[in-house]
Amino acid sequence: MTVAVRSFAKINLGLYIGSPRSDGYHHLRTIYQTIALHDLIRVGTARGAGIEIVCNDPRVPLDSSNTCYRIAERVIHELGAKRRITIEIDKHLPVQGGLGAASSNAIATMIALECALKTNLSPPARLRIAAEVGSDLPLFLIGGTTLGVGRGEEVYPLPDLPSLPLVVVTPEIGVSTPQAFTDWDSRSDGRIRPSVRAQLGTTPPCQLTPSSPSDRLVEVGCVLSAWLSGSPSTGAPAKGGSRAEKLLLDLVRTGIENDFEKVVFPIYPELRDIKGELERAGSRYASLSGSGSTLYGLFRSPVEAKKAVSRLRKQGLKAVATSTLTRQSYWKRILDC
Ligand code: C5P
């Protein structure tokens, strides 16, 4: 039996890096947002044993270091299944691109494997296995707009952003996330910014109450809540399209930032230039996603996003217009293939 699952990408709407933890990871606070770009994962089961990975992109490892392999062996062990597993990765998303593709591929594998084996893991087992394989996996068990804390693996669903037009630019550069964290540590020279220490370092893992009103990610959460309740404080007009535009402008005003830009842009100045190009092409908010190298820009309308794509492609950039994906669309479309 073969099961196909769409493996959607994510972007980060702001990312704060906190102090290094005793386990070598860093405290993190971010808002993950799933988007409509995706890979396709096909999982087949047959008599026998072993895990085989097949992929159309030579940069993807086919051995036991692959996140799909690592999650499949854990799922099989947890379910006590004795089958041969074949995982085919139809790759369209960038490798080491900051769009969470390897993490998303692993979650798609888990979902497809459960379907193929006609058995379910418990939700806590899914979360535990996902977090064991990587910090960026659990978000794909929620989808839509999600708050990530801890080392990024502790996830909480946020009120969903509406579907927003987006342009994604994927430069031919692979950025190593562990290296970017190391660069962050050398940049701050062991001295963690006091504001970040106050917000992250002393926050117990399960406490979501902000410890400082200056936390801009919390401000973003407030903007989202106000938008959803139609609060007059946001001045949100009634009509769908213009409300989305108002929300976008409010998010931009909160000045959300991705800390990775501070260490990745000095090494790859061309990425800073691309962010500038997205802004010049009319983006309301442009940023690096995760540790990059992907950059994205949020636009007011699909028409504006398409115009920006033509302009960026003329400059030789690999750009594509897409949209953010709400939680409902994420789960509706994940198995619809
Ligand atoms: O969890 P994941 O396998 O994605 O992390 C890859 C590497 O990135 C870790 O080994 C660690 O070096 C770094 N990392 C970190 N702090 C985080 C997440 C990842 O230092 N919050």
Angle, alpha carbons 282-287-290 (nearest 5°):
155
Q: Give, using CA atoms, the residue closest to atom 12 of ligand 1.
A: 178
- Cα separation, 313 vs 232, in Å, equals 40
Could you tell me if the CB of 134 is within 6 A of ligand 1?
yes
- CA of 152 from ligand 1 middle (Å) equals 9
Q: Give, using CA atoms, the residue closest to atom 3 of ligand 1.
A: 134
Is residue 198 scored above 50 in pLDDT? no
Give the tens place of pLDDT for each residue, 3-48. Answer: 999 999 999 999 999 889 999 999 998 999 999 999 999 999 999 9
Strands 51-55 and 84-90: parallel
Burial class of residue 173 (count of CB atoms within 10 Å of its CB; 0-12, 13-18, 19+): middle
Contact 236, 247 (CB under 8 A): yes
Tokens, residue 283: 């983006």
Residue among 322, 12, 320, 276 nearest 169 (CA): 320
pLDDT band at 337 (very low <50, low <70, confident <90, very high): low
Q: Which residues belong to the active site?
A: 10, 136
Our mutation pick for probing the ligand 1 site, out of 22, 177, 196, counting the most ligand atoms within 8 A of Cβ, is 177
Give the tens place of pLDDT for each residue, 79-128. Answer: 998 999 999 999 999 998 999 999 999 999 999 999 999 999 999 999 99
Bridge partners (DSSP) of residue 38 are 8
Give the tens place of pLDDT for each residue, 202-245. Answer: 333 323 334 443 466 666 666 666 655 554 344 343 344 565 56
Q: Give, using CA atoms, the residue closest to atom 2 of ligand 1.
A: 134
- CA of 18 from ligand 1 middle (Å) equals 13
- Cα separation, 157 vs 210, in Å, equals 16
User: Which region holds residue 82: left if phi is over 0, alpha if psi is between -120 and 50, else beta?
Assistant: beta
Could you tell me if the CB of 148 is within 6 A of ligand 1?
no
**Max CA distance (Å), the chain:** 62
pTM for the whole thing?
0.85
Ligand 1 atom having least distance to the Cα of 28: 21
Is residue 246 scored above 80 in pLDDT? no
